A and B are shown apart, each in its own frame.
Chain A
């Protein structure tokens, strides 16, 4: 299997994005030229320290953060979400409940599962409707002064459905619960102005916005009590020990600046490409549904559930045809169960295992969409020819009853 990135149609930008060449260029001097440790007192160290400071300010502008020091660099989205939730629990030991949603990323769900099992923390899993929108009534009902932290994603990684986190944060504030949002998919795709919200903590990951992997950040509002989860040196104002990943931080800063510059244009252009891709697939392929299409969504994401076939085989055949897409979250791959997001959205049984996520980025071109559209209907038709569930009408029911 030879991968030819030049010819590949890459439609899996919610998994990771290509690092922008301008980002790489900005990073390069910090590997072997200005390699100093930001904590060192001499000029080489101070130079690195300045680079970190600049990057923090670039990110500050993208997110509309009041003070730059409210941003803490981490290794990525998973570390940020883990640190936020654990720190919130540690900061208010008398509060023993967490509110989160049924469609969160495993970085949040697995942690909540662990807290529930080993620490006796009560977890409220707020359900979503068929379009993936959060059940606000259930959310209100779960809030109380026993809740230490609320963690609701800004935008879903599998469907792109956007949660009204600004309003949700206001509600949480009324009960004194800390509000954390996993904004890994939202940062760089949606305008964010944290100053004007009640959001206490926000997680983001660099490699979803054309920065390299291994760098992320956590926003912690001034005044929020944060307990360091990694202990050691005094880096990041004592909140996250460990020598700063200077090249990564510089890259994230550059990526943030580029994202801010491109956001408005890309919103229009990428949204049009996504809409065309989705509309043509739904028109040309029978028995498929665009999941969450009636909800407010990210401009770049489309999740289509194909009935009677299984997504892994779709992904593999599309890969052979030079189109990279994914089956739900890359982090859940290898599991035997269908996507927890599609299950929570009550997608029909015959389609819940056939969910395919197409995610675009500013690198995606018209030509990419044309080439994807040229192969997708054929791949689906081919797999349906093989599937026992749609060759003969009525056969699906009998086979579904014939249990193992």
Chain B
């Protein structure tokens, strides 16, 4: 069981100011049932003095989420809007005598709800749902929110990003993206003199956590590429049809995105590797030239008469991953 402070325990067992506030003129909500936690914060602000007269909350989630929401209402009542907008997630955690490290996101959701309520009242309604870059698809956590959380809480490692935002807590396939974003924001913080350079996160300095407890099973398309027929050895099965090349609508023009392209291709090859290794083969990326990808097949694949079948499978996978037609050429 998580060890919690008495204050947090108290705010969970006897939450203050819960329920709806019909006269609220500032409302902010954050999170969904699918995300696992949700907070709705309602404030009644006196328009003449800008002072928060009353605050109520509703919360769905774990004990820390309920305590954080309760805490935030106590913290803002009687404060002016300016004072209230100075409250950070860390202040909420501190008010409660600290949150368990893996529950830090609870203070973040309470903070985000408060931020939205104040922004809404000041007419700066954000269309957060239009945040186009859901960085973590499992929990649909937006890039903006993660960036903000890293900046305000001075996060310096990907583990923290996960405990503060849940991003990467499920399949961790967005780990690379979190890493890149964290490194960029940390670099900005260093530039602004807010973070000692020695503490800034560097891409690759932390190994990706093995979070994927659950096997993917063989129902996922990636695993099916080489397993179309039953009872036929993998290397004798019919080649899967390459996916029809999708028009590259959003894909940026080649060249500028070579780095991410390389990453994508390596990711795709990484996913294919177990299937090749099952038959004693292997493959590796040699180089990328425009729309041509050079690949080296090794092990049993090397010299196998059905190598072309394997290659078309690799090609189909890459096209699926990249979203535009690519040519795959074997290199000896």
Interface residues of A (CB under 8 A from B): 1, 96, 100, 102, 106, 109-110, 112-117, 119-125, 141, 144, 308-310, 312-313, 316-317, 320, 334-338, 340, 349-350, 353, 385-389, 391-392, 396, 399-404
CB of B33 within 8 A of CB of A349, answer yes
Do B12 and A313 have beta carbons less than 8 Å apart?
yes
Chain B contacts of A102 at CB under 8 A?
217
Knowing A120-B277, A316-B12, A337-B170 are in contact, say whether A386-B141 is a contact too (CB < 8 A): no
Say yes or no: is B145 at the interface (Cβ < 8 Å to chain A). Answer: yes
Quote the shortest CB–CB distance from B3 to chain A (angstroms): 9
Tell yes or no: B18 within 8 A of A by CB: yes
- The number of chain B residues touching the other chain, given as a range, is 35 or more
Q: A310-B60, A386-B15, A392-B20 are in contact. Are A353 and B29 (CB under 8 A)?
A: no
Cβ contact of B60, chosen from A106, A123, A308, cutoff 8 A? A308
Beyond the given A122-B227, A124-B217, please list 14 additional residue pairs across the A-B interface where CB-CB is below 8 A: A1-B9, A102-B217, A106-B213, A120-B273, A120-B277, A123-B216, A141-B230, A310-B62, A313-B66, A320-B13, A350-B33, A386-B19, A400-B33, A403-B32
What would be 12 A-B contacts, judged by CB atoms less than 8 Å apart? A125-B217, A125-B219, A309-B60, A312-B62, A313-B62, A316-B63, A317-B12, A388-B58, A402-B29, A402-B128, A404-B141, A404-B145
> Judging by beta carbons under 8 Å apart, are B213 and A96 in contact?
no
Whether the pair A403, B129 counts as a contact (CB closer than 8 A) is yes
Inter-chain contacts of A114 with B (CB < 8 A): 210
B212 part of interface (Cβ distance < 8 Å): yes
Is A402 in contact with B129, judged by CB distance below 8 angstroms? yes
Show the binding face of B for A, using Cβ within 8 Å: 9, 12-13, 15, 18-20, 29-40, 57-63, 65-66, 102, 112, 128-129, 131, 138-142, 145, 166, 169-170, 210, 212-219, 223, 227, 230-231, 273-275, 277-278
Give Cα A393–Cα B60 distance, bound, in whole angstroms.
15
* A218–B213 CA distance with the chains assembled, in angstroms: 23
Q: A122-B278, A334-B102, A388-B60 are in contact. Are A353 and B33 (CB under 8 A)?
A: yes
Closest CB-CB distance, B292 to chain A, in whole Å? 28
Q: CB < 8 Å: which of B38, B129, B216, B275 contacts A389?
A: B38
Complex Cα distance, B223 from A51, in Å, reads 50
A336-B170, A385-B19, A386-B58 known; A125 and B36 CB under 8 Å? Answer: no
With A144-B231, A403-B32: A387-B213 Cβ-Cβ less than 8 Å: no
Chain A: minimal CB distance from B154 (Å): 21
With both chains docked as a complex, state the minimum distance between the C-beta of B269 and any C-beta of chain A, in angstroms: 14
Determine if A113 and B29 form an interchain contact, defined as CB atoms under 8 angstroms apart: no
Task: Flag if B62 contacts A391 (CB, 8 Å).
Answer: no
